[in-house]
Amino acid sequence: MENTNITTPTTIEHFVAIMVASKERLLELCGMSARAYTDPDFTPTYADISKEAAGLVERFNWASNQAEFLKCAESEDPMRAVVERFTRLNASIRDKKEDVGGGEVHSLALDISEKQIDLLRFAKYFNEKYGANIGKGDWYSAIQQLGLQLTLKTAAGIGEDVRKFDASYNMTKLAREFKLAKEDETGSTPNPVSKNQMIKTIDLILTLMLGEGGCDSRDAYYLGQVYAKKSKKALSLKAMNNRQLVGLMHEIAHRVCLGLPFSLDAYTKKS
């Protein structure tokens, strides 16, 4: 199998060729899977087909990831490129069941979809390959600051006294580094969970990523809604980790960078 080390040097064309060959073989395996399931004498067996397909899916997705990384890394502005491109092709295999002659027959089906590029993984790849960081500043530390603000906001929502968190070392240190705790004209420090303060932090992150801001109150509301979800088993909230938060900021940056509008993704009942 191809060496899947993320730092393997090669060309975009090489990775695309791997994707094409993997997809062709996957389609071939899917085509013979139903017969392999029903015919015990068929070679290869259904189990062998499933095992090979799983390996090819992994190979396709690795090559897809590498191709996108190279396209972004070789552009004039790698951060803007990964923000604008946003997704890569992703392969997956599902088990399909059909009733044939009164019996259930299993077969494999190939799905090709789009998956969000892992921004943190790309940043690590670029740093290892070129010895440099993407973006215009320390955007990851700023995202950590945003995570603390969202944690405070979540805690306030369930009645916790956020002042004890605000006084913590990490909160004050990060706030001081990014100048988010400046005193106003009355001599008081801004509320870290206010909408305006959230917008300032998000805008700062966008500026550190792209060199320009441009978020609005809807971005702050969106983050506040998806950041933490109530547990069904207990009266508690689970805060999101930094990798998930980076993915959400990647999504907001993509919208801002391309000037995309907000949209409602709604589910409707089938009649």
pLDDT in tens, 146-184: 887 777 777 776 676 666 555 455 555 555 555 544 445
Which of 23-37, 130-144, 241-255 has maximum average pLDDT?
Answer: 23-37
Q: Collapsing DSSP states into helix, strand and coil, what is residue 142?
A: helix
Residues 153 and 236 sit within 8 Å (Cβ to Cβ): no
Token pair for 212: 């320009």
CA pseudo-torsion sign 226, 231, 237, 240? negative
Question: For residue 183, how many other CB atoms are within 10 A of its CB?
Answer: 9
Higher-confidence residue: 6 or 104? 104
Taking CA atoms, 266 is separated from 227, 230, 263, 269, in Å, by 19, 21, 9, 10
Say if residue 176 is exposed, middle or buried (CB neighbours under 10 Å; 0-12, 13-18, 19+): exposed
Placement of tokens 């968190």 in the chain = 165
Side-chain half-sphere CA neighbours of 108 within 13 A = 26
Report the alpha-carbon distance of residue 110 to residue 215 in Å, rounded. Answer: 38
Side-chain half-sphere exposure of 74, counting CA atoms within 13 A:
10
**Confidence band, pLDDT 50/70/90 cuts, at residue 2:** very low
102-138 as b/e: b if 16+ CB within 10 A: eeeeebbebeeeeeebbbeebbebbeeeeeeebbbee
The chain-wide mean pLDDT, for the chain, equals 82
Q: List all residues 6 or more positions away from 72 whose beta carbon is below 8 Å from its beta carbon.
A: 78, 81, 82, 85, 117, 122
